[in-house]
Amino acid sequence: MSDSELYGDNDEFDSIYANEDIEHLINVGELLKTKSLDELLKNDQWRTQEIDSKINWYHGKISRESSESLLKEGLAKLGTVDGLFLVRDSTSSPSDFVLTVTSSAKIYHFVIKEAYSGHYQIDDGVIIQGLEKLISYYESDANGLVTRLHQFCGGEPPPYQARLEGATNILHRAVLEGNPDLVGKILNHPLCPNVNSKNQLGTTALHDCCRYGFEAVAQLLIEHNADVHVKDKQGLTPLQRACAANQSDMIPILIKKGKANAQTRSPKTGWVAMHDAAMRGNKECIQALLEFHTPKMPRAEDGSTPLDLASRYGRYDCIQLLSPQNSVTALTKKADWFHPDLDRKDYKDCLVHFIDDGPYFESLESLIEHYSRQADGLSTKLLVSVSTNTIRPDLPPRPADDIIDDDLYALAEDSRGTANPPPLPASHPPSSKTVQQKQAEPLQKLESLEDCKKIRSKDIVLGNEIGQGEFGAVRKGQLKTKDGPLSKKKTTVAIKTFHKDVENSGALQSIKREAGLMHMLNHTCIVQLIGICEEPFMLVEEFVPLGSMLDYLQDHEKSIPVKPTLYLWAAQIASGMQYLESKKVVHRDLAARNILVESTKQVKISDFGLSRAYAEESNYYKASKGGRWPVKWYAPECVNYGKFTHATDVWSYGVTLWEMFTYGEQPYGDLKGIEVIQLIDSGKRLDKPEKCPEIVYQKMKACWEKDPHLRPTFNDLHNHFEEDPEYSCTRDVMKRNKKSVK
């Protein structure tokens, strides 16, 4: 059987790669060794024109009359056809278009409105992202229009800003090679493609360049009129891409040289670049943005500020940078602003200076300063301004969040006062050499990558991005494996890719540890690691189609019943954790965001980035150095002593249950890490979610017992979920699942 027969099924990856000749898969730099640039660019232009020939219905700024005479000419040539059409610019609004179409020998004009950034709509019809996608929707069916769009009067392809996707050209490819000489040659060539055109994945050359941090290439692109405002398929500008990918050196280039606007929002979330940086914990990007006087407190569609996101994702470095008390503008009484005793949302009550839905500011002065720098959507007048009297001047300064990172023990003292320091475990402090050595040996052995299956990069076909991990994008893909002596098969997989700078950093160790750990594990309720690719370094995992449980809960609340679905998932997570316990693995990051949904009948535990196998002789893993700390999921002894055990995983399991029964609410709302620690200390716990049965809430509360010995074990939890008559509905499904695996 030939490869094309084997791989010819209709699949999204094939649509990306299928029509491309071999030449298209080779590096441009490589191709230039045998071909002239002239020749390459001519071929490329021809290829792009061929792809675009299907959407040559755009006629730019022609008048209504000209559009009618063009269609009449067409009708005369073709005979009376319905659905002969063209698209032109709207004369009244620069971002709108007009569809002119024939039906029953009459000519109609419909306004195509830009409903919101890059999304188009005719009358009350569906809103579709990408002008070409909207037209193709009405080409497939009339869908309420006078007629189906049938044939167009030839013009040119629509402008890049309005398009969702385009043809990947030589420039896109050369940019990904990160070679400024090569990119420069192409940009200076008369046959250079439009510098702003989008590729098959809906990004421009500048987007890709920002994402991978090729500074010299970015400079060149901007000098050649690359548009810094254009949005990619995800609705992100190049600046947002750079901030999401932690490419802080791109920020001055984009803002200073390219005049990029850091306040541009993503159409669906309302996030600006600062949100992207804060959510992913990209501290250098936040710093760089602040240097350009970017507001600290822009508000997303749901009101979230970057500080909220940083708290939500436990990005402690960023929390410190984003806290109003660390304002660049000097505040006379900055110590007065914050205190852990403030009620939730209080910091926003203090930051009451804002205009419309613009950023919050900590002072009227900084608001005025911001709006004197740029209009930023301001129309004419201040809509809301509340007096500063709401600030409580009597409060002592709040301890900085980052002490949790830097010094766990200092936190224990700071937050409780030094009079009665809590007893510390015998092995404290962690500098004790014997303790470290004892742990190091067995860990190295357990985490070795030697037995891990190695995968060659040529057997991997990378597909769309499905998520952003801490160290790089997670992409869907295909793995080719031998099925027999002559045949191959393809398996859909998830591929964790890594930013190029990760390899040189300490993070790689943690990733390799993740791989070594996952490869020891094999359980239905745990995401399976299939193997690793060493060059470039990638982890290949079982693909779990419905993605993160947190998103799934939020998006499908109506179709996820408490019984049987949530009960079943709870049982499965307990079962997976019980298995981890049997393998002496402490997860350390059990949370709804790290559970993946295969189907409503099966969820799987993932994300072992923070997990550690721990040595036989020591019954817990003790963190000697802070990292990203999801404090809201942590038991008090994790935060206070850096002590992680199965019992602390049980605490996190309780919080995960709470997330499930609230359908993805944020535990403790907007409270900050330090405030949560104090709340727990005072004996309070999360409230019972509305839809949560009392019996489940009792289990949750048991998981949050202060004394770890009083918490249930995963064994108890699993037995409870499987055996309790209340849960009998889950038992059958669990049994069925077990059978189908073995």
Q: Name the residues annotated as catalytic.
A: 589
Stretch in the footprint of ligand ADP (CB under 6 A) among 16-24, 234-242, 538-546, 702-710: 538-546
Q: Residues 6 or more apart from 483 whose CB is under 8 A from it?
A: 489
Under the binding rule (CB under 6 A), the answer on residue 467 touching ligand ADP is: yes
84 DSSP β-pair partners: 151
Q: Interface with ligand ADP includes 169 (CB under 6 A)? A: no
Q: Which is nearer to ligand ADP, 97 or 313 (CB)?
A: 313
* Cβ-Cβ contacts under 8 Å for 6 (sequence gap 6 or more): 487, 488, 489, 490
Helix 205-212 vs helix 215-223: angle between axes, to the nearest 10 degrees?
160
Q: Rule CB under 6 A: is residue 282 a binding residue for ligand ADP?
A: no
Taking CB under 6 A as the rule, does residue 314 contact ligand ADP? no
When the beta carbons of 598 and 607 are compared against Mg ion, the nearer one is 607
263-267 CB contacts, 8 Å cutoff, 24+ apart: 263/294, 263/295, 263/298, 263/359, 263/374, 263/376, 263/377, 264/229, 264/231, 264/237, 264/239, 264/240, 265/300, 266/231, 266/234, 266/235, 266/236, 266/240, 267/116, 267/117, 267/118, 267/119, 267/231, 267/235
Secondary structure (DSSP) of 168-195: --HHHHHHHTT-HHHHHHHHHSTTPPPT
Nearest to 435 by CA among 241, 621, 596, 627: 621
469 binding ligand ADP? (CB under 6 A): yes
For residue 706, how far is the Cα from the chain centroid?
34
Q: In the numeric block, which tokens belong to residue 458?
A: 């040529």
Q: How far is CA 575 from CA 524, 544, 581, 650, 717, in A?
A: 9, 18, 10, 12, 8
Residue from 48, 103, 548, 640 touching ligand ADP (CB under 6 A): that is 548
Cβ nearer to ligand ADP, comparing 508 with 729: 508
Minimum gap (Å) between residue 480 Cβ and ligand ADP: 18
Residue 654: partners with Cβ closer than 8 Å, 6 or more residues away: 699, 700, 701, 702, 703, 704
* Smaller CB separation from ligand ADP, 155 or 469: 469
The verdict on 544 binding ligand ADP (CB under 6 A) reads yes
Residue 659 touching ligand ADP (CB under 6 A): no
Sheet holding 473-482, edge to edge: 460-468, 473-482, 488-496, 538-542, 529-533
Alpha helices by DSSP H, listed for 546-672, are 549-555, 567-582, 636-641, 646-661
User: Any contact of residue 470 with ligand ADP (CB under 6 A)?
Assistant: yes
Residues that bind Mg ion (CB under 5 A): 594, 607
Give the Cα separation of 234 and 244 in Å (integer). 12
Q: How far apart are CA 696 and CA 661, in angstroms?
A: 9
Smallest gap from residue 401 Cβ to Mg ion (A): 20
Tabulate helix, strand, coil % of the chain (nearest 5).
45, 15, 45
Q: What minimum distance in Å lies between the beta carbon of 225 and ligand ADP?
A: 35
Which part of the chain contacts ligand ADP (CB under 6 A), choosing from 153-161, 204-212, 565-573, 603-611? Answer: 603-611
Q: Assess 547 for contact with ligand ADP (CB under 6 A).
A: yes
Taking CB under 6 A as the criterion, which residues in 556-595 touch ligand ADP?
A: 593-594
- Find the shortest distance in angstroms from Cβ 548 to Mg ion: 8
Per-residue binding string, ligand ADP, 209-248, x by CB under 6 A, is ----------------------------------------
| Contact flag: residue 530 with ligand ADP (CB under 6 A) | no
Span from 269-277, 461-469, 636-644, 665-673 in contact with ligand ADP (CB under 6 A): 461-469
For residues 134 and 550, which CB has a smaller minimum distance to Mg ion in the complex?
A: 550
Per DSSP, which regions of 104-141 are E strands? Answer: 106-116, 119-122, 128-129
| Near ligand ADP by CB under 6 A: residue from 338, 543, 567, 697 | 543
Minimal distance, residue 495 CB to ligand ADP, in Å: 9
Nearest distance in Å: CB 241, ligand ADP? 17
Contact between 474 and ligand ADP per CB under 6 A? yes
- Alpha carbon 90 to its chain centroid, in Å, reads 35
Comparing CB distances to ligand ADP, the nearer of 362 and 598 is 598
Q: Which does 730 bind (CB under 5 to 8 A by kind): Mg ion, ligand ADP, none?
A: none
Q: How far is CA 601 from CA 189, 405, 663, in A?
A: 56, 38, 17
Give the range of 161-169, 260-268, 291-299, 470-478 binding ligand ADP by CB under 6 A.
470-478
Q: What phi, psi does 109 have (nearest 5°)? A: -120, 125
The smaller minimum CB distance to ligand ADP, of residues 467 and 626, is found at 467
Considering only residues 477 to 516 of the shown chain, the ones binding ligand ADP according to CB under 6 A are 494
Of the ranges 83-91, 336-344, 469-477, 616-624, which one interacts with ligand ADP (CB under 6 A)? Answer: 469-477
Nearer CB in complex with ligand ADP: 238/609: 609
Yes or no: say if 267 and 235 are a contact pair by the CB < 8 Å rule: yes
Q: Examine residue 541 and tell whether it contacts ligand ADP (CB under 6 A).
A: yes
Choosing among Mg ion, ligand ADP, none, which partner's interface includes residue 405 (Cβ < 5 to 8 Å by kind)? Answer: none
> Which pair of tokens denotes residue 43?
């071929």
Q: Pick from 112, 221, 527, 590: which binds ligand ADP (CB under 6 A)?
A: 527
474 touches which of Mg ion, ligand ADP, none (CB within 5 to 8 A by kind)? ligand ADP
Query: Does residue 313 touch ligand ADP according to CB under 6 A?
Result: no
- Least Å distance, CB 280 to Mg ion, is 11
List the structure tokens of 400. 């900085």
Strands (E), 449-510: 460-468, 473-482, 488-496
Q: Is 656 a binder of ligand ADP (CB under 6 A)? A: no
Q: 360 pairs with which residues across the strands? A: 297
Residue 649 binds ligand ADP (CB under 6 A): no
User: Cβ-closest residue to ligand ADP?
Assistant: 467
Nearer Cβ to ligand ADP, position 360 or 543?
Answer: 543
11-49 residues labelled b (16+ CB within 10 A) or e (exposed): bebbebbeeeeeeeeeebeebbeeeebeebbebbeebbe
Residue 598 binds to ligand ADP (criterion: CB under 6 A): no
Please give the structure tokens belonging to residue 663: 């359908």
541 binds, among ligand ADP, Mg ion, none (CB under 5 to 8 A by kind): ligand ADP
Among 184, 609, 654, 673, binds ligand ADP (CB under 6 A): 609
Shortest CB 542 distance to ligand ADP, Å:
6
Tell me how far, at minimum, the Cβ of 369 lies from ligand ADP, in Å: 36
Interface with ligand ADP (CB under 6 A), residue from 607, 637, 649, 659: 607
In a 3-state reduction of DSSP, which class is residue 255? helix
The count of chain residues that interact with ligand ADP, using the rule CB under 6 A, is 20
Tell me the C-alpha distance between 693 and 353, whole Å: 42
Q: Among 75, 115, 142, 466, which residue sits at the site for ligand ADP (rule: CB under 6 A)?
A: 466
Q: What is the DSSP secondary-structure string of 44-80? A: HHHHHHHHHGGG--B--S--HHHHHHHHHHHHHHH-S
Report whether 480 belongs to an annotated binding site: no
For 692-729, the three-class secondary structure string (H helix, E strand, C coil) is CCHHHHHHHHHHCCCCHHHCCCHHHHHHHHHHCHHHHH
Shortest approach of Mg ion to residue 286 CB, angstroms? 20
Distance CA 454, CA 306 (A): 39
Contacts of 136 (CB under 8 A, 6+ apart): 55
- In the 8-state DSSP scheme, what is residue 462? E
CB of 172 to ligand ADP, least distance (A): 24
Binding site listing:
496
Contacts with ligand ADP by CB under 6 A lie at 466-467, 469-471, 474, 494, 527, 541-544, 547-548, 593-594, 596, 606-607, 609
Binding site listing for ATP:
496
